[in-house]
Amino acid sequence: MTGFRLFACRAMMLIAATVLVVGAQGALAQNVLGSISGTVSDVSGAAISGATVTLLNTDRNEIVRKVTTNGSGYYAATTLPLGGYKITVSFSGFGDQVFNGVVLHVNDALTMNATLRAGAVEQVLVTADTQSINTENATQAGLISGTQVRELVLSSRNYEQLVGLQPGVAYSGADQIYIGNSSPNGATNVVQFSVNGSRTSGNAWTVDGSDNVDRGSNYTLLTYPSVDAIAEFKTLRGTYQAEFGRSASGQINVITKSGSKDFHGSAYEFVRNDIFNANDVLNKQTTTPSGAAKAPASRGPLRYNDFGYTIGGPVWIPKIYDGRKNNTYFFFSQEIRRVITYKPVTLTGVPSMNERGGTFTQPVCANTNSAGGCADGGTTTVPITSTLAQAYLKDIYANVGTPDPSGTLVTAPQRNLFNANQQIVRIDQQLGQKLSVFFRLINDSIPTQEPGGLYQGVGYPGVNTTNTNAPGRIYLGHATYVITPTLVVDGGYAFSSGALLSDPVGLAANANSPDIRPNLPFASTLPRVPTLTFSGGTAISTYGPYRDYNRNHNIFANLTKTIGNHTVKAGFTYNHYNKEENNASANAGSFGFTNGNLPAGSTAQPYQQAWANFLTGFVSTFSQASIDVTPSITANQIEAYLQDDWKITPRLTLNLGLRYSHFAQPTDANHQLTTFDPSLYNPAAAPTIGKTGLICVTGAPASACNGFTPVAGVTLAQAITNGVSINNVNSPYGNKIAKADNLNFAPRVGFAFDVFGDGKTSLRGGYGIAYDSALFAIYEQNIFQNPPFVNTPTISNTSFDNPAAVAANVNYSAQVLRATAPHFSTPYVQQFSLDVQQQFPGGVVTDISYVGNQQIHLLGLVDINQAPVGAFAAANPGVAVTSSNVSQINPYRPYKGFSAINSAQPIFKGNYHSLQMSARKEWRHNSLVAANYTWSRALTNANADRVGAPQISSNPQAEYGPAAADRRHMFNFNAVYALPFFYEQHGVVGHLLGGWEVSGLGYFNTGLPQNVTTSGLDPAGVGVVFSSSVSSGRPDQIANPNQSTPGNPIHNRQHWFNINAFTAVPAGQIRGGNAERNVVQGPGWWRADTGLFKNMNLTERTHLQFRGEAFNLFNHTNPDTISTSSLISASGFSPTAGNVTGYRDKRILQLGAKLVF
């Protein structure tokens, strides 16, 4: 290369580095580097001051750092890039000591002590252990190595699965963890790993330190790095280092591969097909749980191809640029998935071909009066008088199949596409021994097709279909600058983004139904037909267009200084979050057709009368939102920390840290933030509430007031906004609706003690506080639900062709609100642990730990407007509250004018205690075996951030019970073993008989707790039967549901638990049910996944691997879901009470091939 070209290339790289360091504005302050420290002494144990420690990165043949020991013989090399190292320790007059094979993993703090011999002239060579115990800090951590990532069999080739291969991690999801935001059945994908008993939403997922979590819910990911692009990842389960923050639970940090001095790469493909697999349990069953006959079904067709390639090495442009000489390296990965699944759908209430023409087998009403009653005696011939109905018949129903005589239509298997395309590119540059930088881009595209519509699941074939994409992209620039060997600064910028973009593409899209042109009161910005619902029938309903965006700009910087025996680190991180998504539904309009006008004496099914009303254009209820409301939530968060790792003696290290977290309250770009603030509620301005629960104000109909007198001067608009806090209007917090918690100081302390001074036994313990950044979707839900920004009128008994021909109803119903706490307290967790690590002869490393925590200010839903227990009963003796009369409790609610006020409140708590054990051994040829066991108990009084609520809002402590992810016993193991015979594959025999490898995973878990609820029963009279309340009722418990009794066997298809352990609260007793929350123990499960691989050496550096993989090798039947909700109603037990309703995967086989060079 000419001098000019070399100068130009280096100048461009220096400019790029300067931009990254100086002009950066954003990445999480999550440590993606490692450190190596130790003491240097002579054979007598005396410290050697001034010894030189040289660290050579063997992956790139680069000297990364040179440090000098202090007066105590101590040295520390911090913020080191990960990889293999050769460490040379030298001092004048002493022989060198060289450590070979040192491997620095993510977040590692390795101890490498050296003993130099005076007068020696030869080097002392030491081969480092492949595993080492932690004698530097108290962090509870689990490493998943590159070998495990590459060689273990993964049921969905998704790295998330490997998080569960650690103690203290409880998984509550399905066997196959799909990438993207939706699974093939249209349901939402969320991460479901609970770390040390905390919530699944409490984890920080990062890639190379950059944020990888959608902040709407805090448990969906933005990108899914290919397993073939992952170098390794580590889960920090208990973090006592102050540099880690944002979440109060696990820190899961994936490290992508980078280039080295030699070219390396791979190409691969994995294939599945339904002919390889066992049939699903439910498909094979010939009876229902109750014993009724059921037709078996065959396997659903499956076509699965996952293929891609990777390449990495020095940047090399022939005759222009040589990355080996200039320390420039690259890595590139692309993975492509092509998945097609098929599943039939059973639809009910489908009109027959005759009914579509207006001919019925039973009399229906064809003439309806303005009050919604039938104006004739019934007829079997109905004229199709609605122009819009004719358009729906032409464009949509002409393409719907013919049902059987009962109105049931079993569709052909519906085709679901689940594809993905991902690219990862990384560039690393070392500029001398002072400055190193890297840039990494992840670009995900995950296009899917949902035949039933996104989040809908079912519907007419070809009608509700949506095409969805879940693109994710993370840009990251990171720089490390060594100012002096004892002073290092690193920082960078990351932009993390994810989206969910969904469009109707079936017949429900306007473009595919050109004749359907409804006359709506408001212009719809959603290009799809309105929703149609039918009593007892199948609806026309799709979703979208939906635009959901998550964006995060993140900047961080860290400064590390070694001062004597202290390694001091300080830093900050700033996040600028934005969450934007539209409602995607209500603005399209919805027409409801019911059977309320069915002629007396007719035996027509409900859907048949509803269909007749459709043909004549009589609509029971129409509603439409005036706009497609689109919140755009923004929040700024800044955290800073100071950490001191003090090497008190060569055997004892004390870790002291303090972190401050300021999680500012969010704002909305459209200024539509609202909540209910009790301090703004004025009882004097509360309306009168009539006996039937309607709002009684001046001008209200007699049916609303029931003889009561309205409060003078109170209007309906005032009544439904009394206490509603509106940003920039009446909120005490200006453009926000809550006060931020500004005192989030989190002290952390830990110690690590080398018990015998030989680096083989470590006693560690720690205590720390970690604050959790709450989800943003709760603020969006307020905007979607609350007045006054969206007008959603309801029109009754109107025309299908012109719904606005009838005046909109004036809604005197008590309003339902969503709310967030105006005085917010940040959730936090107090973590503590004590453990012993031991390295045994033969390289076996074990860890036995007590791990616990206390969770405080947990977020959860509460209906803060429940009527007091017994208030209704005292005024209405002998009258039970049911679903039909629940509005009659509205006069007794504390905030008049409202019914349920479902508020997200940080008032809940939890705790966790566990025994955690792990063992791991590695040996040559990358073979390893690891096992983990956890006994734990997780208790709380709220399951999740926004699912479930106390039965009695005034008594949340009565909800105290098992947490949602409380698995009592968990054991798992994983192994990779290269068979030793003919391993080198010399000759023909060696190639035929050598190169075999086995891989295995095993999971053995007890079940998750399940909650039992009632339906239509509200003995306390508080409003749990109100459909819009987040609260639900529970029955009384009179026995242990997890034990069988004579005549009541359990753990079978019909009754997984003893349903007779529950009964309704006795009549006349005014209280909630006494059954404990989550009292039923759900099914446990076990599964063994195995792989048999054949590795063929093609050349010295190239080999071909053939893989056969089996998931659930033994085809073990694992019950999964059971029926516990709505267990008891006024009529007794639900027909499905206690039934097993779903099973985990049966055996799945996968074939694969991989070329590695």
Q: How many CB atoms lie within 10 A of CB 261?
A: 17
Higher pLDDT, 474 or 23: 474
CA distance 706 to 613: 32
> Which DSSP helix (H) or strand (E) runs through 780?
helix 777-785
The pLDDT value given to residue 25 = 34
The pLDDT value given to residue 187 = 59
DSSP state of 917: E
Greatest distance between any 2 Cα atoms in the chain: 116
The pLDDT value given to residue 23 = 33
Measure Cα distances from 510 to 396, 526, 527 in Å: 11, 9, 5
The pLDDT value given to residue 125 = 77
The pLDDT value given to residue 121 = 58
3-class state of residue 891 by DSSP: helix
CATH number (domain holding residue 78): 2.60.40.1120
For helices 606-616 and 387-395, give the axis angle rounded to 10 degrees. 110
Residue that is written with structure tokens 């190239």 in the block? 1102
Query: Above 80 in pLDDT, residue 28?
Result: no
CA distance 611 to 400: 15
The pLDDT value given to residue 1040 = 97
Query: Above 50 in pLDDT, residue 998?
Result: yes
The pLDDT value given to residue 122 = 66
Q: For 883-903, what is the mean pLDDT?
A: 96
Sequence-distant (≥ 6) Cβ neighbours of residue 878 within 8 angstroms: none
Radius of gyration of the chain (CA): 33
Query: Above 60 in pLDDT, residue 648?
Result: yes
pLDDT in tens, 331-359: 999 999 999 998 888 999 999 999 999 99
Sequence-distant (≥ 6) Cβ neighbours of residue 317 within 8 angstroms: none
Measure Cα distances from 596 to 32, 352, 438 in Å: 64, 21, 68
Whether residue 116 lies inside any domain: the answer is yes
CA distance 415 to 449: 8
Query: Above 60 in pLDDT, residue 1084?
Result: yes
The pLDDT value given to residue 361 = 95
> Which DSSP helix (H) or strand (E) runs through 718?
helix 716-719
Q: For 1043-1051, what is the mean pLDDT?
A: 93
Query: Above 80 in pLDDT, residue 183?
Result: no
The pLDDT value given to residue 592 = 97
Buried b (16+ CB within 10 A) or exposed e, 709-737: ebbeebebebbbbbbbbbbeeebebeebb
What's the pLDDT band for 5 if we cut at 50, 70, 90? very low
Percentage of the chain lying above the pLDDT 70 cut: 96
Query: Above 70 in pLDDT, residue 6?
Result: no
Among 610, 617, 618, CA closest to 349: 610
Q: For 1076-1090, what is the mean pLDDT?
A: 97
CA distance 429 to 434: 11
Whether residue 241 lies inside any domain: the answer is no
What's the pLDDT band for 184 if we cut at 50, 70, 90? low
DSSP state of 1042: T
Q: What is the average pLDDT value for the chain, to the nearest integer? A: 93
CA distance 1154 to 1157: 10
Whether residue 48 lies inside any domain: the answer is yes
Q: For 485-502, what is the mean pLDDT?
A: 96
Query: Above 50 in pLDDT, residue 710?
Result: yes
Q: Identify any residues that bridge with 450 across adjacent strands, giving them in sequence order.
A: 466
What's the pLDDT band for 263 if we cut at 50, 70, 90? very high
How many domains does the chain contain in total?
Answer: 1
Query: Above 70 in pLDDT, residue 876?
Result: yes
Whether residue 214 lies inside any domain: the answer is no
Whether residue 832 lies inside any domain: the answer is no
Task: Give the CA-trace dihedral at 165, 166, 169, 172, to 10 degrees.
Answer: 10
pLDDT in tens, 563-577: 999 999 999 999 999
Chain centroid to Cα 745, Å, comes to 27
The pLDDT value given to residue 1134 = 95
**Residue-range definition of the domain harbouring residue 69:** 31-127
Q: For 983-994, what is the mean pLDDT?
A: 89
3-class state of residue 397 by DSSP: helix
Query: Above 90 in pLDDT, residue 120?
Result: no
CA distance 517 to 589: 12
CA distance 101 to 80: 16
What's the pLDDT band for 31 if we cut at 50, 70, 90? low
Q: How many CA atoms lie within 13 A of 363 on its CB side?
A: 13
Q: What is the pTM of this model?
A: 0.91
Whether residue 85 lies inside any domain: the answer is yes
CA distance 409 to 462: 14
The amino acid sitting at 316 is W
β-bridge pairing 140-144 and 346-347:
unpaired
Query: Above 90 in pLDDT, residue 1145?
Result: yes
The pLDDT value given to residue 24 = 33
Ranked by mean pLDDT, which of 15-29, 340-354, 903-917 comes out on top? 903-917
Phi, psi of 549 (to 5 degrees): -125, 140
Sequence-distant (≥ 6) Cβ neighbours of residue 970 within 8 angstroms: 167, 169, 170, 932, 933, 934, 936, 1004, 1005, 1006
Among 769, 749, 743, 736, CA closest to 661: 743
Whether residue 39 lies inside any domain: the answer is yes
Query: Above 50 in pLDDT, residue 11?
Result: no
Q: For 999-1019, what is the mean pLDDT?
A: 97
Higher pLDDT, 9 or 292: 292
Whether residue 71 lies inside any domain: the answer is yes
Phi, psi of 942 (to 5 degrees): -155, 130
The pLDDT value given to residue 22 = 33
Tokens coding 882: 């049911």
- Asked whether 481 and 435 are in contact (CB, 8 A), the reply is yes
Among 149, 20, 146, CA closest to 437: 20
